A and B are shown apart, each in its own frame.
Chain A
Amino acid sequence: MDPSVSDPVIRRHRLATRLWHWVNAVAVFVLLGSGLGISNAHPRLYWGRYGANFDHAWAQLPRFPAWITIPASYNLAISRRWHLLFALVFAFGLLGYMIVSLLNRHFATRLRLRRADVSPTHLAQDVRDHWNFRFHDANDPGAYNSLQKWSYILTIFVALPAMILTGLALSPGMNAAWPWLLEVFGGRQSARSIHFVTAALIGGFIVIHIALVILAGAGNELRSMLSGKWKVPRS
């Protein structure tokens, strides 16, 4: 059997996308693990400019266990070292990916919303297709489906930049350099709360992302993110 007839292979992901995906995956992994370690130092969240033990906390977080934090044993200094070094990898990685993706038209060709992507009937159909494990348009199998586009757009252009900006708003040095940033979020403790909530949303994205990679065929999807080559599934 000639595999090229039954299973056409296309180049799915560009080199820049693949490089950023893995650099970012490592950075986000370290940031989430070390972030949970930092959370254990003061697991209370507040709204506004100030917030400490005597003030009203809107959320009291659980103590995150050793198997999920970096480092495993509580050490705020080392958690911060990991977090702040990989924050640079994460922020400059995203910046580089965004610049390259504008230049090579990755955003314009793959992530631009088309009329169908905002049509309720089409979106409802996309939900039904997902429910039936149909993730690809047979006519254009390499394209992202609408729900995929929306989740990537919200993650890349809203959630990830929000993490960087709220993170910067936590820095007393950056507060002096860019005082306006603090006002955007309504104070340092509000910025800290948004930082935590957005981190949880990104955690949710990762869970769904990995689940869908597995459902769509982990081997094929993984290979496409490594070598770029992706076998078009028979529908």
Chain B
Amino acid sequence: MIVARRNLIVGGAGLLLAGCDKVAAIPQARRILFSGEDMHRGLQRALMDRAALAPEFTREQMSPVFRANGTRDPGTPGYAAMVANGFADYRLRIGGLVDRPLSLSLDQLASMPARSQITRHDCVEGWSAIGQWQGPMLGTVLKAAGMRGSARYVVFTCADLYNGQPYYESIDTIDAFHPQTILALKMNGARLTVPHGAPVRLRVERQLGYKHAKYVTGIDAVASLDGIGKGKGGYWEDNVDYDWYAGI
């Protein structure tokens, strides 16, 4: 009797679990399921000072090995050519809703006031690694380009393809002008290596790892994410249903 009841409970739980997948396939239910992201963003933005800093760490607290993840080498002929001459021909293009579109060399980026920070990188999968990052603040670059007030998002174009599609990411202007949001040129005191996104990697410290676009070649200020990629603001958001707001 008890065994039969236990089977009923286990069997019932299995049916309920399978039911969850059925529910998630209904468009209206899926919309509710996906609305959690907006609630968390709203709650976090309400609780958090706009300039609240992500925790920073000491050298002694750094990971002994900082694993590379995602694309480890874009491998395209264009990128390989840039690597071959030490990124001498690299230019970071800044455009979109700006008064002065820019094209900056690595030397020009390196001559801008830099911020150095030892922060924790949290992958959406659950692991964390602590490393040091250094480079100009994104806000400085956007101000130099004269970003217009109509811009609401900043979109990052990358040199790599992921599963054959161009990797890109986007953040809103709150995170874009956050003091810890930098265009990292250096990691752990040395020039960025190819596995970690050479020559320029975005750091957006209050969000998960997939937002930290590597191999950044272009930055565009935009009013809306519609019409860019599939419209959800990033490679993972477009193709794998990851949250655009990755603060949780």
A interface residues with partner B (beta carbon < 8 Å): 29-30, 33, 38-39, 41-42, 44, 46, 49-55, 67-72, 75-78, 80-82, 84-85, 87-88, 170-179, 182, 188-189, 192, 210, 214, 218
User: What are 22 residue pairs bridging A and B, where the CB atoms are less than 8 Å apart in the complex?
Assistant: A42-B125, A50-B120, A51-B127, A52-B123, A52-B127, A54-B65, A55-B65, A71-B20, A76-B125, A80-B124, A80-B242, A81-B243, A85-B36, A87-B36, A172-B122, A173-B207, A176-B52, A176-B54, A177-B47, A177-B48, A177-B52, A218-B5
Q: Are B129 and A50 in contact (CB under 8 A)?
A: yes
Q: How far is the CA of A192 from the CA of B124 in the complex (A)?
A: 13
Q: Which of A44, A87, A173, A188 sits near B206, CB closer than 8 Å?
A: A173
Asked if B149 lies at the interface with its beta carbon under 8 angstroms from chain A, I say no
> Which A residues touch B17, using CB under 8 A?
33, 67-70, 72
Q: Are B207 and A42 in contact (CB under 8 A)?
A: no
A81 in contact with B128 given A71-B20, A176-B52 (CB within 8 Å): no
Q: How far is the CA of A65 from the CA of B44 in the complex (A)?
A: 33
Closest to B33 in A: A81
Q: Are B128 and A189 in contact (CB under 8 A)?
A: yes
Closest to B56 in A: A179
> Which B residues touch A179, using CB under 8 A?
55
B4 to chain A, nearest CB (A): 11
Q: Are A172 and B205 in contact (CB under 8 A)?
A: yes
> Which A residues touch B13, using CB under 8 A?
29
A90 to chain B, nearest CB (A): 12
Q: A67-B17, A80-B242, A175-B206 are in contact. List 9 more A-B contacts (CB 8 A).
A: A29-B16, A33-B17, A46-B127, A49-B120, A68-B17, A76-B125, A81-B24, A87-B36, A173-B48
> Which A residues touch B67, using CB under 8 A?
52-54
Q: How far is the CA of A189 from the CA of B129 in the complex (A)?
A: 10
A214 in contact with B5 given A44-B127, A52-B63 (CB within 8 Å): yes
Q: Are B248 and A55 in contact (CB under 8 A)?
A: no
> Which A residues touch B124, using CB under 8 A?
41, 76, 80
A192 to chain B, nearest CB (A): 6
Size category of the B interface is 35 or more
Closest to B62 in A: A50
B interface residues with partner A (beta carbon < 8 Å): 2, 5, 9, 13-14, 16-18, 20-21, 24, 32-37, 39-40, 44, 47-49, 52-55, 57, 61-67, 120, 122-130, 205-208, 236, 240-243, 246-248
A-B contact count (CB 8 A): 154
> Which A residues touch B129, using CB under 8 A?
50, 52
B98 to chain A, nearest CB (A): 27
A176 in contact with B240 given A67-B14, A85-B33 (CB within 8 Å): no
Q: Are A84 and B40 in contact (CB under 8 A)?
A: yes
- By DSSP majority rule, is chain A's interface helix, strand, loop, or mixed? helix
B217 to chain A, nearest CB (A): 25
Closest to B240 in A: A77
A71 in contact with B54 given A29-B16, A177-B47 (CB within 8 Å): no
B208 to chain A, nearest CB (A): 6
Q: How far is the CA of A178 from the CA of B9 in the complex (A)?
A: 40
> Which B residues touch A189, using CB under 8 A?
127-128
> Which A residues touch B20, using CB under 8 A?
30, 33, 70-71, 82
Q: Are A70 and B127 in contact (CB under 8 A)?
A: no
Q: Are B248 and A173 in contact (CB under 8 A)?
A: yes
Q: Are B125 and A41 in contact (CB under 8 A)?
A: yes
Q: Which of B53, B130, B207, B240 sits near A50, CB closer than 8 Å?
A: B130
> Which A residues touch B64, using CB under 8 A?
54-55
A80 in contact with B243 given A50-B128, A88-B39 (CB within 8 Å): yes
Q: Are B32 and A85 in contact (CB under 8 A)?
A: yes
Q: How far is the CA of A52 from the CA of B47 in the complex (A)?
A: 29
A40 to chain B, nearest CB (A): 9
Q: Which of A49, A50, A174 sits near B44, CB closer than 8 Å?
A: A174
Q: Are B128 and A188 in contact (CB under 8 A)?
A: yes
Top-4 shortest CB links A-B: A173-B247, A85-B36, A177-B48, A42-B126
